[in-house]
Structure 1
Amino acid sequence: MDALNQGIQYMQEQKYEEAAQSFTQAIEENPEDPLGYVNFGNLLLHMNDLERAERFFQKAIEKDPETATAHYGLGNVYYEQQKYEQAQEPFQQAIKKGLEESDAYYMLGLSFLYQEQFKLAMPYLQRAAELSPEDADVHFQYGLCLAQVGLLDEATQTFHNVLELNDQHSDAHYNLGVSHLFKEEPYNALEHFDKAIEIQSDHMLAMHAKGQVEEMLNSNKEKE
């Protein structure tokens, strides 16, 4: 087994010191190969050494600008620092260079989402959901994005899809409750708020929303 693959195996086994030694050896043996720098960058990113990780990903890009995983790693460095605008470009480059994977689209979509650029986020989150049909969290974020741009029917269906994948997803129940409120269906909303609280007893948003709906319904009964 060569040093690069040995390092990857050590990483998977959480033997990080041994992984670092193997990646160092891989870089020394093949200093022009960007993958040694990418994998060392991934190790440093995993260890939250973001400053050094950035340098390794930049070095990989210097060696070969077409290395999609180096751009993706660099995007993750900025994303972890909540530099969402700065993260956009390397994530876009990763996709452009051929990283046709759900994670790349998902991270780019989230970078736009957290800047409240929902229309820009939507196609990337949609593509991420298409590439990860079994990932409840990807579908949930796509549902949030749909709701933010006012596509309530599509958002409602997406949140139902999330619950098919994970029926214990409290936030999906909460957001379904909110969707029903917008459709003026308070009793349906209450069902989902109750379910969110049943799954997560300290779900403050669901508890607050439930209290408001019950207050509104009681007020309406008194007026009758």
Structure 2
Amino acid sequence: MDYIQQGLEYMKEHNVEEAAKQFNLHIEHHPNDPIGYINFGNLLAHIKEYDRAKRFFEKALDLKEEVPTAHYGLGNVYFDEENYAEATQQYQKAIQQGLDEADVYLMLGMSLMNQEQPKLALPYLQRASELNQDDVDVQFQYGLSLAYANLIDEAFKQFNRVLELDKNHSDAHYNLGVSYLYKDQPKEALKHFKQALNIQPDHLLAGHGKKQVEELLNSQ
């Protein structure tokens, strides 16, 4: 087993120190190979040593101009630092350089959502949902982008899709409730707000929605 594979095995075991040793050995033996720096950068990002992680990713890019996984790693660091504009740029570069995986589309979409640009986020989250159809979080984030873009019918279908994957997804129930309100079906909305609260009793938005709908129904 080579140093990178051994390091990745240690990371799976949450053995950060041994993983670092293996990645460092790879760098010592292959100083011009960006892969060692990328994996060390991922490790540093994992333990939230963001400044050091950036230096490793940048070193990888100094060695080779087009390394999409280095841009993806840098994007994750900037995302964690809530620098969504810079994260967006890095994810876009990763995609332009050939990275075609659900994770990079998801993160690019979420970066744009955090910049209140749901319509720009939409195609990336749709692509993520196509590439990973059974991932609950991916499907939910796509549903949110549809809702924020005021595509209510499409969002309604998507939140139902989330509940097919996970019937106890409290946020999907809440958002489905909101969708029913847009459809002027308060009784159905109330069912989903209650369901969200059954799953997560401290769901503040669902609690607020339930109260409003109950007041509305009682006044009729």
Specify the code of the residue in structure 1 equivalent to 2:181: L
Structure 1 equivalent of residue 7 of structure 2: 7
**Structure 2: stretches of 5+ with no match in the other structure:** none
Structure 2 equivalent of residue 102 of structure 1: 102
Q: 1:10 offset after TM fit, Å?
A: 1.4
Structure 2 equivalent of residue 185 of structure 1: 185
2:29 & 2:183 partners in 1: Cα distance?
Answer: 63
2:54 & 2:169 partners in 1: Cα distance?
Answer: 34
1:73-152 to structure 2, matched below 5 A, reads 73-152=73-152
C-alpha deviations, 1:80-126, integer Å up to 9, x for none?
00000110111011111111100000000000001110110000000
Could you say what secondary structure the match of 1:139 adopts? helix
Q: 1:68 offset after TM fit, Å?
A: 1.1
Specify the code of the residue in structure 2 equivalent to 1:183: K
Specify the code of the residue in structure 2 equivalent to 1:205: L
Structure 2 equivalent of residue 199 of structure 1: 199
- Normalised by the length of structure 2, the TM-score is 0.98
- Runs of 4+ aligned residues of structure 1 deviating over 4 Å after TM superposition are none
Total equivalences in the alignment: 220
Structure 2 equivalent of residue 19 of structure 1: 19
Specify the code of the residue in structure 1 equivalent to 2:215: E
1:5 & 1:192 partners in 2: Cα distance?
Answer: 46
Identity %: 57
1:153 & 1:159 partners in 2: Cα distance?
Answer: 10
2:5 & 2:198 partners in 1: Cα distance?
Answer: 46
2:219 & 2:138 partners in 1: Cα distance?
Answer: 39
Structure 2 equivalent of residue 218 of structure 1: 218
1:178 & 1:139 partners in 2: Cα distance?
Answer: 17
Q: Which moved more, 1:190-199 or 1:4-13?
A: 4-13
1:155 & 1:60 partners in 2: Cα distance?
Answer: 40
**Structure 1: stretches of 5+ with no match in the other structure:** none
1:154 aligns with 2:134: no
1:48 & 1:20 partners in 2: Cα distance?
Answer: 14
- Normalised by the length of structure 1, the TM-score is 0.96
Structure 1 equivalent of residue 172 of structure 2: 172
Specify the code of the residue in structure 2 equivalent to 1:55: R
2:8 & 2:121 partners in 1: Cα distance?
Answer: 32
Specify the code of the residue in structure 2 equivalent to 1:77: V
1:38 aligns with 2:38: yes
C-alpha deviations, 1:36-71, integer Å up to 9, x for none?
000000100111101100100011111112211101
2:198 & 2:102 partners in 1: Cα distance?
Answer: 31
2:67 & 2:124 partners in 1: Cα distance?
Answer: 21
The alignment's C-alpha RMSD in Å is 0.8
Specify the code of the residue in structure 2 equivalent to 1:82: E
Specify the code of the residue in structure 1 equivalent to 2:108: L
